[in-house]
Structure 1
Amino acid sequence: MEYLIKNAIIVDAKSDHHLQKRDILIENGIITNIDSTIKVSDKSKVIELVNLHVSAGWFDSSISFGEPGFEERETIANGLKTAAYSGFTDIILNTNTNPVPDNKGAIRFIKSNGDKAATSIHPAGTFTQSADGEHLAELFDMSQDGAVSFFDYKKPIKNPNLLKIGLQYTQRFDAIVQSFPLEASISPKGIVNEHINSTQLGLKGVPSLSETLQISRDLAILEYSGGRLHIPTISTSKSVALIRDAKKNGLNVTCSVAAHNLYLTDDELHSFDTSYKLTPPLRTKEDIKALIKGVKDGTIDMVTSDHNPIDVENKNLEFDHASYGSIGLESCFGTILSKLDLETAINALTKQSQFNLKSSGVEKGSIASLTLFNPSIEWTFSTSDILSTSHNAAMLGKKLTGRAYGIFNNKKLALHKL
């Protein structure tokens, strides 16, 4: 089918049409023409939306759904629909399922369940068997079947020798190891940021030291072993400084930050709303300033929604006993654009190549993998905006700027009626 995107401002620094208003013609999934005005036949589907902007498709490096094992939280089908309507053409699915994906059969299952969606799903495989931290999983076999990185979801790699061996081994097939930045022994029962608020509220704290200590160790191992290391969802100013120095020294390290850690501080905890029980925890205004600077100067490679649906039975509990996590796909772009300028935001959302994934630009002859959005709309995130099955949303009630219309990807158009 032929699609014509009308009067769209292109946001793609690598494109000859950057920040220009253009028509974009798509035929059989390929961008065949970009011009100030394009005339087409009556058979073409014309897409014309208010203040329409188009960029290369957005990428989210940390997504959880539930299936298999926790379908009541989110199925793969509904999760991918939510991702598409939220502007994401590509997502990495985390390993917090039951069973965990620690073999090639599990990777094939995930890919086959998402192969007909507009949003492309890229599974992570566990770093260790059963994600138990003891023995390496079938890393090579999983990579051959489509696993794009290896991660025991939100579990630190306790054994430094295991991380060293994993980084050395994965160099043979250019794979990425993810290491969650938490030295848990520093805060064995901590659940929120260790600061004034944790003391006032009587909640056990997680000091920033628990994050930076793990990062320091992991960077030292990376320097020794080589390989490719990704540090997901950093949250402290010292973490930014450590990774900035490591990159200057030539280490092959990337990192991400969760969108809500750019917006929310631990002041939110006074409500005792368990939607704010997150890992890593919400930190301070000073940390937010450093994280935003890190995104702007490229120290932080990408921003993720860190979407993690949790069923009511595990969220509507006393704060100490509730599960960690918040959904974030629907509010992700609005959260980011409330804190960053448009070009920086789009750059932070289009870093597929960091995970060896192909990224198509907005150019004639390219595969059409595009996100359609309105960057100026101001709105308040409410329950009616939630597309996910679960409703544990830390950004509920927050005023946001910018919203996705949807995507064109995999020869499919997925538009959300705002």
Structure 2
Amino acid sequence: MKILIRSAEIIAPNSQLNGQRRDIWIENGIIKNIANAGELPTTEAHRVYKDEALKVSAGWVDMRALAKDPGLEHQEDLYTVRDAAAAGGFTEIALLPNTHPFTQTKESIIYAKTKGNTHAVTVHPMAGVTIDGKGKDLTEMIDLHMAGAIAFTDGIKPVWHSDILVKTLQYLQTFNGLLINRPEDTLLTQFGNMHEGITSTMLGLKGIPAIAEEMMIARDLRFLEYAGGKIHFSTISTAKAVQLIRQAKHKGLKVSCDIAAHQIAFDDTALLEFDTNLKVNPPFRSQADIAALWEGLADNTIDAIVSDHNPLDIESKKLEFDLAEFGITGLETAFALINTYNKILSVSDMVEKLAIRPRQILQLPVPAIEEGQVANLTLFSTELEWTYLEKNIRSKSLNSPFIGQTFKGKPLAIINNGKIA
């Protein structure tokens, strides 16, 4: 297929073409020609992308999505998660291991990599650190790494066992593997439903205290100093968490972190109406926490932005608030959320956190927008206004508080694996 991207602004922070408008000719998945805007003819192109506000960058990578396949395919499968990712502008996604059965064997890694692999979106399965995610016995991480596991995590569960965490940091150093941990002291958060504060007290809901996240980060950083290796904290949410990681980076520890895109959209007061689609973990925090997250994004304490895509059926959400499950769909709205609420990041900054840093953390090559290179691209607009409508949702599940909301900024297409979506 021959594709012409007409007069697009190239967003490539480390390239001389960054910020310049160019025509890009792609043939059979390869960038064949990059020319001045308006120079390349449209006559031979099978498809032409053209818009005054059109931008193009290296394809985006989501470091945290849950596909529910195998086990709960009625909520999401490996085909529909790719469709949702493409709609959100992601050419590659890293999948959490919280499937049924848990992703902890070579066969499960191969299954995730191959089912639906003719799609434009590439899947990178992550494998469990512990058997069944219970935090007690280590998986065969070297075998899983050789089978294609891109990182190791217990996913929606933290690695709570101190000895297991230390051994994991040591073990992964043998092949430069990455530990991804979601920081939460589950003894402090059990039965919790939302951020612990004035609003939770008013609503009579058990709170999830910020200290439950912060103490686990402090613990893990101390173990990182002791054992060596590297760790990535996923979906941090508090001001103190940002501060702790900032200090650790200044000390030279090999630490990185991300936030979920939806975390900046609401504070805890949004739960006054008991909308279960707003029940997420980590919970929506205070305005002071949100301000700290923006500061962390601006000074690169926070390395990446993730979708934290967790599709759930209506039976899991249409319940009393304290009985509903945690989770939100996020692949299709992640960029739109950040762009709509953004007051501090440049377009290059957003691309850095969606495309560049995730790859560096996961040790994936960063696609270059150069002649002769394989096309792995996201086409997007930061100006286009659009409404997130139920009829257009690609995920199988509808557990999103953003249905009906108008956003500014939208992915328009992805090109990857020689395909367009």
Tell me the residue number matched to 1:379: 386
Tell me the residue number matched to 2:420: 413
Of 318-327 and 376-385, deviating more is 376-385
How far did 1:312 drift? 1.1
Tell me the residue number matched to 1:306: 308
Pick one of 359, 365, 373 that aligns with 1:366: 373
**Does residue 165 of structure 1 match 2:132?**
no
Of 158-167 and 377-386, deviating more is 377-386
Deviations 1:270-318 (A, max 9, x none): 1111101100000011111100111111111100111110011111111
**Does residue 345 of structure 1 match 2:354?**
no
TM-score, reference length from structure 2: 0.95
Q: Which runs of 5+ in 2 are unaligned?
A: none
How far did 1:264 drift? 1.2
How far did 1:41 drift? 7.3
Determine helix, strand or coil for the equivalent of 2:224.
Answer: helix
Pick one of 279, 290, 295 that aligns with 1:277: 279
How far did 1:40 drift? 4.7
> 1:169-184 alignment to 2 at 5 Å?
169-184=171-186
**Does residue 21 of structure 1 match 2:26?**
no
Tell me, yes or no, if the aligned pair for 1:65 and 1:79 is still in contact at 8 Å.
yes
Tell me, yes or no, if the aligned pair for 1:372 and 1:405 is still in contact at 8 Å.
yes
Tell me the residue number matched to 1:326: 328
Tell me, yes or no, if the aligned pair for 2:42 and 2:48 is still in contact at 8 Å.
no
Determine helix, strand or coil for the equivalent of 2:50.
Answer: coil
Tell me the residue number matched to 1:267: 269
Determine helix, strand or coil for the equivalent of 2:132.
Answer: helix
How many angstroms apart in 2 are the aligned matches of 1:386 and 1:2? 28
> 1:217-296 alignment to 2 at 5 Å?
217-296=219-298
Deviations 1:202-223 (A, max 9, x none): 1100110000000000000011
TM-score, reference length from structure 1: 0.96
Tell me, yes or no, if the aligned pair for 1:64 and 1:306 is still in contact at 8 Å.
yes
How many angstroms apart in 1 are the aligned matches of 2:26 and 2:42? 13
How many angstroms apart in 2 are the aligned matches of 1:76 and 1:211? 31
How many angstroms apart in 1 are the aligned matches of 2:406 and 2:243? 30
How far did 1:116 drift? 1.0
| Amino acid in structure 2 at the alignment position of 1:87 | G
How many angstroms apart in 2 are the aligned matches of 1:296 and 1:91? 24
Q: 1:144 to 1:168 in 2, by over 3 A?
A: same
Deviations 1:234-282 (A, max 9, x none): 0000000000000111111111100011121111101111101100000
How many angstroms apart in 2 are the aligned matches of 1:245 and 1:385? 43
Tell me the residue number matched to 1:48: 49
> 1:16-95 alignment to 2 at 5 Å?
16-36=16-36, 37-40=38-41, 42-50=43-51, 51-95=53-97
Tell me the residue number matched to 2:154: 152
Determine helix, strand or coil for the equivalent of 1:16.
Answer: coil
| Amino acid in structure 1 at the alignment position of 2:11 | V
| Amino acid in structure 1 at the alignment position of 2:352 | N
Tell me the residue number matched to 2:101: 99
How far did 1:82 drift? 1.4
Q: 1:396 to 1:343 in 2, by over 3 A?
A: same
Tell me, yes or no, if the aligned pair for 2:4 and 2:42 is still in contact at 8 Å.
no
Q: Which runs of 5+ in 1 are unaligned?
A: none
Deviations 1:173-227 (A, max 9, x none): 1111112110122232212100111001111001100000000000000111111
How far did 1:81 drift? 1.3
Determine helix, strand or coil for the equivalent of 1:298.
Answer: coil
Tell me the residue number matched to 1:396: 403
How many angstroms apart in 2 are the aligned matches of 1:399 and 1:207? 32
| Amino acid in structure 1 at the alignment position of 2:8 | A
Of 358-367 and 399-408, deviating more is 358-367
How many angstroms apart in 1 are the aligned matches of 2:317 and 2:108? 27
How far did 1:380 drift? 3.6
Determine helix, strand or coil for the equivalent of 2:7.
Answer: strand
Tell me, yes or no, if the aligned pair for 2:32 and 2:371 is still in contact at 8 Å.
yes
- Quote the RMSD (CA, aligned, Å): 1.3
How far did 1:343 drift? 2.1
Tell me, yes or no, if the aligned pair for 1:114 and 1:121 is still in contact at 8 Å.
no
Determine helix, strand or coil for the equivalent of 1:403.
Answer: strand
